[in-house]
Amino acid sequence: MNSYVLKRGLTYALLSFAAFLSVFPFFWMVVGATNKSTDVVTGKLSPGDNLITNFQNLASQVDLVRIFGNSFFIAIVSTVLTLIVSSLAGYGFEIFRSRVRERVFQLLLLFLSIPFAALMVPLFVLISRAQLNNTFAAVILPTIASIFIIFYFRQATKAFPHELRDAARVDGLKEWQIFLFVYLPTMRSTYAAATIIVFMGAWNNYLWPLIVLQTNENKTITLVISTLTAAYTPDYGVILLATVLATLPTLIIFFVLQRQFVAGMLGAVK
Amino acid sequence: MAQARLDRNEQINGWAFIMPAMVLLGIFMIYPILWSLWMSFQVGRGNAFSFGGLANIQRLANDALLLQALSNTIIFFIIQVPIMIVLALLFAVALNDATLRLRGIFRTLLFLPCVTSLIAYSSLFKSMFSNDGVINQALMGLHIIDAPIPWLTDPFWAKIVIISAITWRWTGYNMIFYLAALQNIDKSIYEAARIDGIPAWARFCKITVPMLKPVILFTTILSTIGTLQLFDEVNNITQGGPGNGTLTLSLYIYNLTFRMMPSFGYSALVSWVIVLIVAVLSVIQFFIARDRRRTT
């Protein structure tokens, strides 16, 4: 019994310590947003009274409405287009099988492990030649056909009941109507989970927007944070306030839709 | 006759549904990959390039920076991935115990770092690891160190910062995969092992780990790709420094293309080095997975 209590205590101690380490940077971020930069770099742990000043400094350096507007626009348009294109493909691969398309799918899985770094140089040349440099289209277009999301929808479609499709066919519905009116409503939770992953990915995307968005008025909040951090004398109060603002949308999504959030992360292995 | 028409319909629909994705992947993935193969043999600056034969390959053979980026990436991979996977496994096993109180809260808190963007959290870490920053203050307050550690100005410590940052961000993510897999293991196996008097650590090594092998392999592959992609954190926290101590492959390609004298041909060749590494690693992982399947 004693060793049981000891083991229990040890488990709680380990988990509490890990939870503390997990949460501390969040605490740090919020406290830091209210402090002067000099207090942040000397490790002040109590809230200060510099929040308003930090906000004014941030707002004077960047057009916040515009920057957040850019981030939301890119993330929402990417999410909608990615879900349409990739769910169509996932559905198509699973429902209409043929040997050739099966080979194509296997080829896609092979491409899944190619890192983006290997693509960015030719992609940049391509975008420049198409004169799409410094446009939102340049950010969005290459992300729409996501192999990962296609794979995710194909896996999910395996659970789509065949009887539903057969019944709809007997009723004389065309294939696109079956997809739109039968499949889509049935797979709501799959779409919800996929929305979360794609939105998060687009909201947090950094490397590709960094390459193709050059002018200040087109930048996203992620790019702004990295520019502020790279300054010769970074103002950490301002930076931490910006990270609070940038993290809020995903944090809210996480707490409101926690179940779908985790389901989305797990999606591909099921 | 009717059957033939049905088959043709299936074919048309099959291609129609996947067509938008295929066209986009063709333009934004296949074409760039093939083009970069051709570009690997071009020399010149910016958009003005000409055929250079094997000049790029010669440059590759003598590229000390590439070697440095490669070895940094390997160090990150070899040290960070095992630490993270072991921690994630431990947390998952601890949280899988149904009699544990507050497990929902622990799970949420451990998973929380996953909601931050890579740039946001790397800015956080940069501010925490400054010379007089909160980490040094805490370690000195606890009398673990006497003098501040030069986290961001020493190549060795900078690597430690990057490794801790990635571990902070991704451990909870991996834990969720293991938790899901643990819930699928039949409880009666543990019951039987306990009745047979098999101690907890042996149950962990002989039951839990083998049962989780496919998921562990899957997360290892994800982490491998992740390490090869490592860019946001190093670019934001250390910018590859100090002394190129945290330069990664992705950052090197970025620097080659957009920071130094831009030579797209050579960057394309280095990109192909990454593709080759991924291919070799995939084959190795495939064989490991197959061997395991055979022995179990």
CATH number at residue B102: 1.10.3720.10
CB contact under 8 A, A266 and B134: no
Compute the count of residue pairs across chains A and B with CB atoms less than 8 Å apart: 270
CA distance B146 to B73: 31
Partners of B115 on chain A (C-beta within 8 Å) are 200, 247, 250-251, 253-254
Is B2 domain-assigned?
Answer: no
Q: Does A248 touch chain B (CB under 8 A)?
A: no
Nearest CA in chain A to B167: A22
B272, containing H or E segment: helix B264-295
The C-alpha of B89 sits at a distance from chain A's nearest C-alpha, in angstroms, of 12
CB contact under 8 A, B127 and A41: yes
Residue A22's pLDDT is: 94
CA distance A188 to B250: 37
Surface of B (151-170) touching A: CB under 8 A: 168
Number of domains observed in the structure of chain B: 1
Which domain covers residue B238, as residue numbers? Answer: 60-295
Handedness of CA A211, A217, A221, A227 (dihedral sign): positive
According to DSSP, the residues that pair with B50 across neighbouring strands are B43
Q: Which tokens sit at B19?
A: 């067509």
Question: In CATH, which of 3.30.479.10, 1.10.3720.10, 2.170.120.30, 3.40.50.720 is domain A63-230?
Answer: 1.10.3720.10
How high is the ipTM of this complex?
A: 0.86
- pLDDT tens for chain B, 296 residues long, are 566 776 788 888 889 999 999 999 999 998 988 888 888 887 766 666 677 777 788 888 888 899 999 999 999 989 999 999 999 999 998 998 878 888 889 988 999 998 888 999 999 999 999 888 889 988 988 888 888 889 999 999 999 999 999 999 999 989 988 988 888 788 888 888 888 888 878 888 888 888 888 888 888 888 888 888 899 999 999 988 788 889 998 899 888 888 877 778 888 888 888 888 878 887 787 777 666 555 44
CA distance B200 to A27: 36
Q: Are A86 and A150 in contact (CB under 8 A)?
A: yes
Q: Is the peptide bond before B242 cis (omega within 30 degrees of 0)?
A: yes
CA distance B291 to B90: 26
The C-alpha of B295 sits at a distance from chain A's nearest C-alpha, in angstroms, of 23
Surface of B (67-86) touching A: CB under 8 A: none
CA distance A198 to A202: 6
0.90 surpassed by pTM: no
Q: Does A208 touch chain B (CB under 8 A)?
A: no
Q: Show the 3-state SS of B172-214.
A: HHHHHHHHHHHHCCCHHHHHHHHHCCCCHHHHHHHHHHHHHHH
Residue type, B233: E
Q: Which tokens sit at B95?
A: 């949280």
